[in-house]
Structure 1
Amino acid sequence: MQLVTPGIGLIFWQLVTFLIVLFLLAKFAWKPIMKALHEREASIEDALSAAERAKLEIQSLKADNEKLLAEARLERDKILKEASDAGNALVESAKNKANEEGARMIAQAREAIENEKRAAITEVKNMAAALSLDIAERILRKELSNPAAQQELAADYIREVTLN
């Protein structure tokens, strides 16, 4: 059992060695270790505050991006609406112009038809007059080929003229 229980001398020298190590650590190592710990703590706090600032800045940028995106969507919708309105106005204008042109062409066609109708009626009248004259001329030649018929016709005309 002597191996398990330490002797008084061993405890004394271990205590002296511990105190010397503790003194040396307190004299030379304690301040640099504490300084390093404080610096580490300060750098961690700085890093945390920088992270918090970065987080706030990211949130701000994200809000700005959302705002810009919303404005861009509104502008896009506005441009699309203006383009649609312009297209509809252009189609409506073309439709009105086509209707006006169609009405003008119909009026011109009606006028041309009316002119052609008048010309055809005039031509028919002229042909009827020419045919009537031709028929009358043929009848008169046939009737006036005989001298007795000529005298009788002249006498009828004279009676009609004097009666009127």
Structure 2
Amino acid sequence: MNLNATLIAQIVVFFILGWFTMKFVWPPIMKALDERAAKIADGLAAADKAKSDLERAEKKAVDEMRKARESAGDVRAAAEKQAAKLIEEARGEAARMVEQARTAAEKEAGAAMQRAKDDLREQVAVLAVSGAEKILRREIDAKAHAELLANLKKELH
């Protein structure tokens, strides 16, 4: 066989194989590689999106925690104000009750003192009449006694 004919036959077979590969084998391989590249790109884009979503979620969580702390501080401050107000109201009520009790005690003491003075006046009048009767040792009119006692009471007031 001739070297040129073999070489030409090999070149023709090579070009036929190249044409067949380019026409029927290469497009599915390229399509599979393009699909895989697209999937990888989609995966990377999804990962970037997930990363940015995660960062936003973390920022939102931090903001929510800050708001919750502020809200808790506000609630605590409001509770402290309410407690102080209730304590102040209770102190005012207690002071009012103490004042009422003191006033009532003063009135009762004044009334008791007046009763004691009245009783003392009665006793002084009885003693005075008794002393006068002993001194005089004479007959005394009951009506005159009552009149004298009334006058004595008036003088003692």
- TM beyond 0.5: yes
Give the corresponding residue for 1:52.
48
Q: CA deviation at 1:22?
A: 6.2
Please state if 1:103 is matched with 2:99.
Answer: yes
1-side partners of 2:49 and 2:79: how far apart? 44
Give the corresponding residue for 1:154.
none
The structure showing larger relative contact order (alpha-carbon pairs under 8 Å, at least 6 residues apart) is: 2
Give the corresponding residue for 2:33.
37
Please state if 1:132 is matched with 2:128.
Answer: yes
After superposition, the C-alpha distances for 1:124-152 in whole angstroms (9 at most, x for unaligned) are: 121111111022113322xx48xxxxxxx
Q: Which residue identity is paired with 2:126?
A: A
Please state if 1:72 is matched with 2:55.
Answer: no
Q: CA deviation at 1:79?
A: 1.2
1-side partners of 2:25 and 2:113: how far apart? 127
Which shows bigger deviation, 109-118 or 20-29?
Answer: 20-29
2-side partners of 1:33 and 1:138: how far apart? 152
2-side partners of 1:138 and 1:22: how far apart? 166
Give the corresponding residue for 2:117.
121
TM-score, L = length of structure 1: 0.68
Q: Which residue identity is paired with 1:39?
A: E
Percent of counterpart pairs with the same letter?
28
Unaligned stretches of 5+ residues in structure 2: 1-6, 140-157
Q: CA deviation at 1:25?
A: 3.9
Unaligned stretches of 5+ residues in structure 1: 1-11, 146-164
2-side partners of 1:116 and 1:21: how far apart? 136
TM-score, L = length of structure 2: 0.71
1-side partners of 2:77 and 2:32: how far apart? 65
